[in-house]
Amino acid sequence: MSAARDLADLVDGRAAGPDGYVRLAVDAGVWTALAEGCAGGLHDLGALWADGGAMRMALSDSGRGLRAIVSLQTNAGQYPSVAARHPPALRLERAMRDLYGVQPIGLPDPRPWLDHGRWPGRQSEARYEFLPTEGEGLHQIPVGPVHAGVIEPGHFRFTANGETVVRLEERLGYAHKGVEGLMAGAEIEQAARIVGRISGDSTVAYAWAFARAVEAALGWTPPPRAVLLRGVMGELERLSHHINDVGAICNDASVLTIHARCTLQREDALAVANACFGHRLMMDRVVPGGVAADLSGEGIGKIRGLLARFEATRAEILRVYDSMPSLQDRTVTTGIVSAKLARQYATGGFVGRASGRAFDARKSFAYAPYDRLDFDLKVRTAGDVDARLLVRMDEIGESLRILSQLLGRLVPGEIRAARPAVAAADEGAALVEAFRGDVFVSVRVGKDGRLAGVHARDASWFQWPLLEAAIEGNIVADFPLCNKSFNCSYSGHDL
């Protein structure tokens, strides 16, 4: 076993690219030492993906503001497994092995992940073996991939002792539609449309991360007004999903009145988004070089009206939530995620922030326009369903403040810059805070101006495994509450 290596001494003295990432090639020894560093808590694992003949790893240390992307040339596809040292990399490595045929040596779990043995040319009848459970009186409950509600496809295998969940094992990949394969070799405009559909609920965040990555690669600067408008769209998206999640959590505890009120407020936000930007979810409105829809003076008035209504709803929901001990009986101390796990998995979003991990890409690696705005990073420590709900409520308050500042700073101007000529092949990466956590996108642009490779890592990759831990020891009936309080993306994870 090699010694852990700190990211800080590796990147010391090296210049970061325009996207803030230091890029360097490493050998297998350094690669392994960096993986040990992740395990030792010296830095965070942000992403891990296969790119051509290399494996790449995004590492960060938000406390010291360090970010790096390291590359390791594989030996005919073989490389030392990161998951063998740092378990959060496990599903990432299983997925990359399924998609690109790379061979992580020492991978602790050899089962496929995204490959279900159903792809043409790769058909296999081999059964997927769930992890064994032993003990008296245990029974299994298989759920999904088609669920009882209107939700995305995924399989949950519960092992229960009476009502109590002893183990939950997730099986994902049902929504895998090959987005990375579709984007390799695609025109930038076409890839932007695909990126916006990796996870429809975070379409603005994905499109924004992709745009920033492409802009960094091409030296393309979006106009100031476009940057502010991206912020407006990003915060509208966050507001609409946070209030929806709060309602959905209460709905799973059978408090339909709060749910009804929340869905009405969400509808209000979507209608305003539609009136201002021409699409309820604001799909394809953030594009490389700027934005595709301008905000009129009338639109600004509409958003200001929404802010006032949203604030009133937020206060009212909080008051009613606080007055219902029967509801809090379901949410408080249910589905606890320990601070240690949140730290180990570098879990972003409300899942991490409800378990004491003070990370928000808008603050920790601040990007425009957030770098010049006044807002707070809200953290709670209980790690239960209640904390995840209240973090969302806190963030709604901050989003309203942010929107108010953004609207005040809008000045007339261009909303999209012309694309510069591509001088040489280059790459870029970006981290954007979607409503559920940080979305990482890395792109390589070829000399012909087409994309040579794109990798997108949803926040869900580091949240799904924690759901398995959160439900342990809870009753089966509380799973919907826990699941909703996480609200992980299936599509964003399955790619």
Contact positions toward other proteins, by CB under 8 A? 114, 116, 118-120, 145-146, 148-153, 173-179, 181-182, 190, 193-194, 197-201, 203, 244, 257-258, 260-261, 263-264, 266-267, 270, 280-281, 283, 316, 319-320, 323-324, 489-491, 494
Closest to other proteins by CB, 174 vs 461, is: 174
Minimum distance of other proteins from residue 164's CB (angstroms):
24
Q: What is the β-pairing status of strands 138-143 and 437-445?
A: unpaired
The stretches of 410-478 forming alpha helices (DSSP H) are: 464-471
Give, for 90, the enclosing helix (H) or strand (E).
helix 90-100
Closest to other proteins by CB, 269 vs 429, is: 269
Minimum distance of other proteins from residue 488's CB (angstroms):
11
d(CA 454, CA 191): 9
Closest to other proteins by CB, 32 vs 460, is: 460
Minimum distance of other proteins from residue 95's CB (angstroms):
13
Task: Report the 10 Å Cβ neighbour count for 459.
Answer: 29
Minimum distance of other proteins from residue 441's CB (angstroms):
15
Residues 105 and 75: beta-carbon distance below 8 Å: no
Q: What is the DSSP string of 128-153?
A: PPPPP---TTEEEEEE-SS-SSS---
For the chain, the 3-state helix, strand and coil shares in percent, each to the nearest 5, are 45, 20, 40
Minimum distance of other proteins from residue 375's CB (angstroms):
26
Closest to other proteins by CB, 54 vs 100, is: 100
C-alpha separations of 234 from 144, 230, 237, 285, 342 in Å:
32, 6, 5, 11, 25
Closest to other proteins by CB, 67 vs 266, is: 266
Residues 6+ apart with CB under 8 A from 71: 23, 24, 25, 26, 51, 54, 55, 56
Q: What is the β-pairing status of strands 22-25 and 66-73?
A: parallel
At 61 the three-state DSSP class reads: strand
Closest to other proteins by CB, 82 vs 204, is: 204
Closest to other proteins by CB, 147 vs 363, is: 147
